[in-house]
């Protein structure tokens, strides 16, 4: 049987679930590392950890509605973290500036994936999935923008502490 747009939607939602999980792990690690010296960055990252947890729940609900297997999303975690590695994985000893830069890259990666998913949901005629994905992508767009807006201040603070 030929693969339908809905099959693709389910498959990509399973990957998106695993990416969100990966993002949650990275962000909580960074929030902990930045808490002492960069409380505002840490607070915004922690807030996005909660948003990312909510995303996982919404994606899991969507998968259940579409008849997809949520547990499969967990199985592909290894594959996803290999891909996600190039997109902002936390490095030991990274500076606050590197944390922000890598997080910006990861948020844009999520945004791109969600936008491809929105197009796929539209092609599959899955209106509810499309609406849900549009609300999810807004959180990642906002997070990317916040990080970009705060990169200069974080860099200045880093340079000031170094001087």
Assess 140 for contact with Fe ion (CB under 5 A).
yes
Chain residue at closest Cβ approach to Fe ion: 140
Question: Considering beta carbons, is residue 6 or 99 the nearer one to Fe ion?
Answer: 99
Cα torsion through 143, 25, 90, 75, rounded to 10: -110
User: Which segment (64-72, 107-115, 123-131, 155-163) binds Fe ion by CB under 5 A?
Assistant: 107-115
Instruction: Determine the size of the site formed for Fe ion (CB under 5 A).
Output: 3
Question: Considering beta carbons, is residue 51 or 126 the nearer one to Fe ion?
Answer: 51
Residue 67 phi/psi, 5-degree rounding, is 80, 20
Assess 24 for contact with Fe ion (CB under 5 A).
no
Sequence length of the chain is 163
The CA distance from 86 to 26, in Å, is 13
User: Which segment (6-14, 31-39, 103-111, 130-138) binds Fe ion by CB under 5 A?
Assistant: 103-111
Q: How far is the CB of 140 from Fe ion (least distance, A)?
A: 4
Two tokens, residue 122:
């539209």
Show the site string, 57-96: x = touches Fe ion by CB under 5 A, - = not.
Answer: ----------------------------------------
Two tokens, residue 121:
């949901």
**Cβ(108)–Cβ(27) under 8 Å?**
no
- CB-hemisphere CA count at 13 Å for 155? 8
Assess 110 for contact with Fe ion (CB under 5 A).
yes
The CA distance from 52 to 25, in Å, is 10
Q: How far is the CB of 71 from Fe ion (least distance, A)?
A: 23
Instruction: List contacts with Fe ion (CB under 5 A).
Output: 107, 110, 140
């Amino acid at each position: 049987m030929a693969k339908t747009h809905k099959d693709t939607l389910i498959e990509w939602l399973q990957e998106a679930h695993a990416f969100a999980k990966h993002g949650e792990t990275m962000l909580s690690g960074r929030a902990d590392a930045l808490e002492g010296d960069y409380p505002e960055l840490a607070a915004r990252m922690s807030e996005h950890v909660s948003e990312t947890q909510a995303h996982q729940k919404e994606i899991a609900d969507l998968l259940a509605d579409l008849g997809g297997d949520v547990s499969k999303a967990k199985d592909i975690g290894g594959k996803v973290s290999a891909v996600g590695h190039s997109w902002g994985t936390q490095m030991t000893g990274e500076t606050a500036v590197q944390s922000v830069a890598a997080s910006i890259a990861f948020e844009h990666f999520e945004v791109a994936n969600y936008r491809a998913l929105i197009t796929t949901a539209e092609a599959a005629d899955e209106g509810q999935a499309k609406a849900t994905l549009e609300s999810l992508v807004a959180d990642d767009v906002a997070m990317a923008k916040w990080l970009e807006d705060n990169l200069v201040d974080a860099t200045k603070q880093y340079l000031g502490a170094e001087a």
